[in-house]
Amino acid sequence: MPEKLCLSCQKPIRGRTDKKFCDDFCRNHYNNNSLRGGPEKLIRNINIALRKNRKILRDQLRPAEQTATVHRNKLLTAGFRFNYMTHQYRTKKAQTYCFCYDYGYLPLANNWLLVVRKKGDA
Ligand SMILES: [Zn+2]
């Protein structure tokens, strides 16, 4: 019967033949590194970034406010990642808003941003 090798460290497994790993350490190491490394990891990380972006934008607006002017650095400090957005919205005035779900921003001059909350189905 061929020797079974640990999926994590590739060393022969002793003992029961139905085991896939030497021990818990090898199993955890394998699960943490292999399964999360594929496209699912990328998708999950982008989803996390988008949700965080949305939360940061939401935090800029008081409940009664529809817009707020915020400096770009304030968002960066909060961990905002400008390369992630869900969609863009171009107005008739040719202004392009970048959205993370229902919150977005319009770049203004000198690194200021107009943060907005989406109204209805607009
Ligand atoms: Zn092992």
Give domain status of residue 108, yes or no: yes
In angstroms, what is the span from residue 17 Cα to ligand 1's centroid?
14
- Tell me what pLDDT residue 120 has: 63
pLDDT in tens, the chain (122 residues): 667 889 889 888 877 668 888 888 888 888 776 655 667 777 888 999 999 999 999 999 998 899 999 999 999 999 999 999 999 999 999 999 999 999 999 999 999 999 999 876 54
Alpha carbons 83 and 52: distance in angstroms, whole number: 13
pTM, two decimal places: 0.68
Alpha carbons 83 and 51: distance in angstroms, whole number: 13
- C-alpha distances in angstroms, 102 versus 42, 63, 109? 22, 14, 23
What is the CB-side half-sphere exposure of residue 56 using CA atoms within 13 A?
24
- Tell me what pLDDT residue 29 has: 81
- Tell me what pLDDT residue 122 has: 46
Domain range spanning residue 75?
39-117
Alpha carbons 93 and 119: distance in angstroms, whole number: 18
Segment (H or E) for 59: helix 39-60
- Tell me what pLDDT residue 110 has: 97
Specify the DSSP class assigned to residue 53. Answer: H
Question: Facing residues of 89 across strands?
Answer: 97
In angstroms, what is the span from residue 73 Cα to ligand 1's centroid?
46
Q: Which residues surround ligand 1, an ion (CB under 5 A)?
A: 6, 8-9, 22, 26
Tally of structural domains, the chain: 1
Give domain status of residue 58, yes or no: yes
Give domain status of residue 80, yes or no: yes
Q: What tokens were used for 58? A: 């939401």
Give domain status of residue 6, yes or no: no
Q: What tokens were used for 82? A: 């400008």
